[in-house]
Amino acid sequence: RKSYTIGGETRWVVDDVDFHARSGECVFLSGPSGSGKSTLLSILGCLLESDSGEVHIAGRRVDTLGVAQRTKIRRDMIGFVFQRFQLIRGLSAEDNVAVPLTLQGMSLADARERSGDLLTRVGLDLHRKQLPTAMSPGQCQRVALARAVITSPKLLLADEPTAALDGKSGIETMELLKELVATTGSATVVVTHDPRILKYADRVCELENGRLK
Ligand code: ADP
Ligand code: MG
């Protein structure tokens, strides 16, 4: 459960939610704007602390860990994909994708090699050295997907990954996400209210006023 108190009034934003996603499974979280989807995703992603309840990732309880340990969990076990890509502007596609590996201690040369291989796999071989500003939104989201899975995370979280894309790029993004998850086996949670991509869900969970329907 998670609440916010504004002007003396407490509102449950995530209310008595029992949620799970299995390895390799792609679960969609849908629901109207303000229903608590992003809040729940942030709790799963160890970015936000709940008021009560437990969060387990790959059999490990993570909600009781301190800040430094939670940061390591994010680094080593979780991949994030955002609506607006959140690529690092001054870095090439290749270096954006290499960042998570260098944070884990890999040398830049090795990380770039791995990153280059993955970019080739997602169809961006020719764009390795390009900056995000020189790429289309669909290409940027491909780079962001590659960055999110380069460490083969146990958990992959995507918040409205197709909302900033046209229909065709949105479909391509989901096709690619499914293909990558088939390799990494990540438990995948996708927040969306884009009906065009619902067919990519293994399961759909609907939130309303912080509660799972
Ligand atoms: P969704 O992603 O489904 O649109 P959110 O999880 O972003 O919904 O937000 C759920 C509710 O919680 C909304 O009413 C929002 O205004 C409120 N909320 C989210 N974050 C905060 C915050 N930091 N402080 C106060 N209220 C918040
Ligand atoms: Mg949201």
Across 80-107, average pLDDT: 97
Residue 195 has pLDDT above 90, yes or no: no
Q: What is the mean pLDDT of the chain?
A: 96
- Name the amino acid, one letter, at 121: R
pLDDT tens per residue, range 52-77 = 999 999 999 999 999 999 999 999 99
Q: Which residues surround ligand 2, an ion (CB under 5 A)?
A: 37-38
Which phi and psi angles does 65 have, rounded to 5°?
Answer: -75, 155
pLDDT tens per residue, range 140-179 = 999 999 999 999 999 999 999 999 999 999 999 999 999 9
Spatial CB neighbours of 117, under 8 Å, sequence gap ≥ 6:
none
Residue 29 has pLDDT above 90, yes or no: yes
Going by alpha carbons, the residue nearest to atom 6 of ligand 1 is 36
Which pLDDT score is estimated for 137? 97
Q: How far apart are CA 197 and CA 201, in angstroms?
A: 8
Which pLDDT score is estimated for 31? 94
Considering every ligand atom, which ligand is closest to the CA of 17? 1
Going by alpha carbons, the residue nearest to atom 21 of ligand 1 is 4
Which pLDDT score is estimated for 53? 97
Residue of 9, 13, 50, 194 to test ligand 1 pocket, by largest number of atoms within 8 Å of CB? 13
Ligand 1 site, residue 167, Cβ cutoff 6 A: no
Q: Locate the ligand 1 atom nearest the alpha carbon of residue 191 and give its number.
A: 2
Ligand 1 site, residue 53, Cβ cutoff 6 A: no
**Environment class of residue 25 by beta-carbon count within 10 Å: exposed (0-12), middle (13-18) or buried (19+)?**
middle
Which pLDDT score is estimated for 193? 87
How does residue 48 score in pLDDT terms, banded at 50, 70 and 90? very high
How does residue 186 score in pLDDT terms, banded at 50, 70 and 90? very high
Considering every ligand atom, which ligand is closest to the CA of 159? 2
Which phi and psi angles does 9 have, rounded to 5°?
Answer: -105, 125
